[in-house]
Amino acid sequence: MRHILILLAINFILAGCTQQEKLTILNFDVSYEKVFCGRDFSVNVYINNNFDREVENLYIGFETIDILNFKGVKKCGNGKIVNYGCLINKLEPGDESEVTFLLSFPGQYCIPGEVPRANPKLIISYDFDGQTKVNIPIYGEGRKSKKDTTVDMTEGPIKVDVSVPTQGVDSNQIFFMDVSIFDSGEENIIKKDDLSIKLQNLQVYSEEGETDCDFEINPDNTLSLKKDFPVGVNKKLRCLLKADEIKKDGFVYGLILIDYKYNYKMSHHLTITPSND
């Protein structure tokens, strides 16, 4: 039996630093039986959730099967069969599941003296959500003591980081907020309506009605994406903000709260060659 171990190692950026670490969300062990021309064979996918949060709407299936014949899904764990795959509603931390597909290698491609090969494409996707919370100190005139800006981010395959002044800003100060969205490598999309930014004690800076902001500015002082955003490695969005006016010697925190969700998708190509035995 052929085994291929796929570890989904997800890079993420730690809050407040540039060091990169590895985060494994799911382990996949893909195996298939010895393949013979004109006969059925099974492909087994074993899934384990190594993360400390549940994974929802987990889909494991074939996007393409190349020259193979797809015979069906033999086993779908605790999920349901959908088209060429299996949809698992929820996989709790530490839980495992197994999906088994039945395929066949068409005999007409097995020509003496030639080595036929099939390259089906396996898709794994799941829903995930996250939040990034930034507390930035705002100082009134004459305030001496300083505090550090804090950034808390949800761990996951996509990370949303925020860069603002690290020791806060003064009352009425204008500054840039840079939002960086990191992916583990594959191209994924955050839908237009699936990311929102709430501001407290902060406003988008406007001069004579003109703003410098890559986000849609909503009447309730929230920001959202202008369109679906393709996530790549370190893609950045920027917005010019202004701190609220704070009384002399006063101090408050400005809040930047980013809530987002996405369907994370990765692919894996198999190479299947029938045996001559």
In the chain, where does DSSP find H-type helix? none
Residues 192 and 83 in one domain: no
Which pLDDT value is given to residue 115? 86
What band does 157 get if pLDDT is binned at 50, 70 and 90?
Answer: confident
Range of the domain at 236: 130-261
Q: Nearest to residue 150, comparing CAs of 161, 135, 165? A: 135
Tokens of 224: 């959202």
5: confidence class by pLDDT, cuts 50, 70, 90: very low
Identify the pLDDT of residue 68: 95
Q: Which CATH number covers residue 203?
A: 2.60.40
Per-residue confidence (pLDDT) for residue 25, from 0 to 100: 58
Q: Do 140 and 120 sit in the same domain of this protein?
A: no
CA angle 141/146/147 to nearest 5° reads 130
Q: Is residue 158 part of a domain?
A: yes
CATH number of residue 82's parent domain: 2.60.40.10
Please give the structure tokens belonging to residue 241. 């903000």
Strand pairing partners for 196?
A: 224, 259
DSSP state of 65: -
pLDDT value of position 2 = 43
State percent of the chain over pLDDT 70.
87
**Residue of 28 and 272 predicted with greater confidence:** 272
pTM score, whole prediction: 0.81
Do the domain assignments include residue 149?
Answer: yes
Count the domains in the chain.
2
The mean pLDDT of the chain is: 85
Residue 3 has pLDDT above 50, yes or no: no
Q: What is the pLDDT of residue 184?
A: 65
Report the relative pairing of strands 169-170 and 121-139 from DSSP bridges: parallel
More confidently predicted of 72 and 49: 72
On whether the CB atoms of residues 10 and 23 are closer than 8 A, the answer is yes
**Are 68 and 62 contacting, i.e. CB atoms less than 8 angstroms apart?**
no
pLDDT at residue 130 tops 80: yes
When comparing pLDDT for 232 and 24, which is higher?
232
What 3-state class would DSSP assign to 103?
Answer: strand
Instruction: Enter the tokens of residue 12.
Output: 């993420």
